[in-house]
Amino acid sequence: MMDLLGLRSSTAKTLYSRKVFWFLSLAVAAFFGLQSIQYAFSSQYIVQDDVRQHGFWMQRFLDPQLFPDDLIADYFQSAASPGYTAFYRLMAALGIDPLWLSKILPLVLGLITTGYSFGVCLQMLPIPVAGFISTLLLNQSLWLEDDLVSATPRAFLYPLFSAFLYYLLHNSLLGVGIAIALMGLFYPPFALLSVAILTLRLLRWQGLYPHLVKHHRNYWFWGVGVTVTALVLLPYELTPTEFGPLITAAQARTQPEFHQVAGVYGRAFFFHDNPFIYWLFGPRSGALFLLMPPLIWVGFALPFWLKQPARFSLARQVKQANLLLQITVASFGLFFVAHALLFRLHFPSRYTYHSLRIVMAFAAGITLTLWGDRLQTQQQRQTELTGRQLLSWGLTILLVGGLAIAPFFPELSLPTQLQIIGGAPRLYEFLSQQPKDTLIASVAEEVNNLPSFAARSILVGREYALPYHTRYYTQIRQRTIDLIQAQYSPELTQVQRFIQKYGVDFFLLDPGAFTPAYVAEHEWMSQFQPTTATALTQLQQGKVPALAKLVDRCKALETKGLILVNARCISSPSDNEAKL
């Protein structure tokens, strides 16, 4: 029987198949990456959802005059990890546009992740097809979500954590140290996770009791991990921020932004009365909030199959599988520690969300390889197969093949990458021609796109209203309340005082912005009570906002139903009072 998968090949054939499957693994990553790049450049105005939040301010690297005295830009720049900032700054110094780079970079990060992950899997099971299946499932998992595609700090954790695992299994002290240092600079939570894994490797279990291992090498790795993490993270933690301390769990529990109120999810939704949602499926609080290809779930069978070498003879070749258990235990350990120290260690879900995706890919790859070897062994033992066996195997292979192929379809993978396509090109072009200190005020959803597509500052925007640092969010909240009051006030003087207070140059209005239905159904404004309720009551009573009366006279641009109103026109004392 021909060994199609290279499960029982000679040494020479194994080396050849290793090269072939390594190349195929990279080809899979390249396919998804190029598909994503094509989509990312499908429009002149398109940006990944998290890039428009965490990356828009990097346009300052090319033009320092952009976003002058911009609270939002200053905040997100200060919150960015030092490695992430330094990398994009270096690329910008070479003349590479950060927003352009963010569309190309995921392909590079995906290829690096695939290369290291293939090597990690071969250390656990030296069968090349296992490495291919594992990286195939990992790539499907990564490109079905927006983490790698975002090119933000969390995108870098995948190649760096894969490198950490690779060098750990290869006993490279230098490689482990460098990988941890880079994780600390790009995505600090995974530097802590790496140290937790190294700590678990100091223990071995005899029954229910742990004992310290006798291998001195493990202590060297632990010492290097702790030292490097401390050196990288302590300066970052000890440096005070101008935006105030992190919000405490007690404070967060009192704010609507962290809850679901009347069916509306707050901007930073975290707490929920249902424990299953809170602990398992909450996007920031839950341990299992992740989207993975269906085939990856067969990885749960691995612990059981490894205990059945009589049925799965290839299980005897599996080594270092305890690393997967160590990653899982460390992840859940930090998950609960992060809950206890909320929000000091970032979101609890981040410790399980990313690592379980990697663990499950390796587990599933090895599991499917064991299953393939079992089928091949049974086939070799039987000269003829019964019709029932042929039907069973055929349907199983067809199902597995279908589940493996399905994620390659762009209709499944691209929508979940959350690319935001701008719908108002004329608006972006008009604003980009205005002075660089132009400030736009709006509660419209479109305002969130202006920093990326027009490179102009906005007063507030739901995308940027993160309530984690008190001094920052206090200002954002007050700005939003002032904006709602000004936009719906029947008093012109209140609008004019608002313009003068913040130096607003334009108002951006949605279609129907002055109707009761618009205010009542606006999810973000609903978090700013009682201000929004007052505005709604005034509209229901027939009181016409002063701004609404001046739209026709002061309109600077109208496109796609959006209306841009010149604030200078509103501030002009000429005959505005007479018109009101």
359 vs 165: CA distance, rounded Å: 11
Q: How far apart are CA 227 and CA 252, in angstroms?
A: 33
Q: What is the pLDDT of residue 2?
A: 41
d(CA 96, CA 108): 15
- Nearest of 138, 136, 118, 114 to residue 126 by alpha carbon: 118
- Give the type of residue at 104: I
What pLDDT shows up at residue 215?
A: 82
Q: Which helix (H) or strand (E) holds 210?
A: strand 209-212
Contact predicate 505/567, CB 8 Å: yes
**What is the number of other CB atoms lying within 10 angstroms of the CB of residue 275?**
8
The DSSP string of 564-577 is EEEHHHHH--SSHH
Domain boundaries, the chain: 11-239+272-417, 424-579
β-pair partners for 507: 441, 565
Q: C-alpha angle with apex 423: 35 to 449, nearest 5 degrees?
A: 85
CB 342 within 8 A of CB 148: no
Give me the amino acid identity at 282: G
> What tokens does 324 get?
């997967």
Q: Are 162 and 308 in contact (CB under 8 A)?
A: no
Q: Tell me phi and psi for residue 145, to 5 degrees.
A: -125, 180
DSSP 85-130: HHHHHHHHHTT--HHHHHHHHHHHHHHHHHHHHHHHHHHHS--HHH
pLDDT in tens, the chain (580 residues): 345 455 555 455 667 778 889 999 999 999 999 999 999 999 999 999 999 999 999 999 999 999 999 999 999 999 999 999 999 999 999 999 999 999 999 999 999 999 999 999 999 999 999 999 999 999 999 998 889 999 999 999 999 999 999 999 999 999 999 999 999 999 999 999 999 999 999 988 777 778 888 888 899 999 999 999 999 998 877 777 788 788 999 999 998 889 887 677 888 889 988 998 899 888 899 987 666 788 888 999 999 999 998 888 888 999 988 999 999 999 999 999 999 998 888 899 999 999 999 999 999 999 999 988 887 777 666 655 566 666 666 776 677 777 777 777 777 778 888 999 999 999 999 999 999 999 999 999 999 999 999 999 999 999 999 999 989 999 999 999 999 999 999 999 999 999 999 999 999 999 999 999 999 999 899 889 899 999 999 999 999 999 999 999 999 999 988 999 999 999 775 555 544 5
The C-alpha angle 112, 414, 56, rounded to 5 degrees, equals 75
Helix intervals (H) in 489-530 = 492-502, 516-521
Residue 15 parent element (H or E):
helix 11-40
pLDDT of residue 19: 87
CB 293 within 8 A of CB 407: yes
For residue 287 the two structure tokens come to 């341990």
Whether residue 421 contacts residue 46, with contact meaning beta carbons closer than 8 Å, is answered with yes
Long-range contacts of 118-121 (CB under 8 A, 24+ apart): 118/21, 118/22, 118/25, 119/166, 119/170, 120/162, 120/165, 120/166, 120/169, 120/362, 121/362, 121/365, 121/366
Tokens of residue 312, six digits: 């799965």
CA 376/CA 374 separation, integer angstroms:
5
Instruction: Report helix, strand or coil for 519.
Output: helix
Range list of H helices, 341-409: 350-381, 387-405
User: Closest Cα to residue 150, out of 94, 215, 84?
Assistant: 84
Architecture of domain 424-579: 3-Layer(aba) Sandwich (3.40)
Reduced to 3 states (helix: H, G, I; strand: E, B; else coil), residue 9 is coil
Please check whether residue 48 is in contact with residue 419, taking contact to mean a CB–CB distance below 8 angstroms. Answer: yes
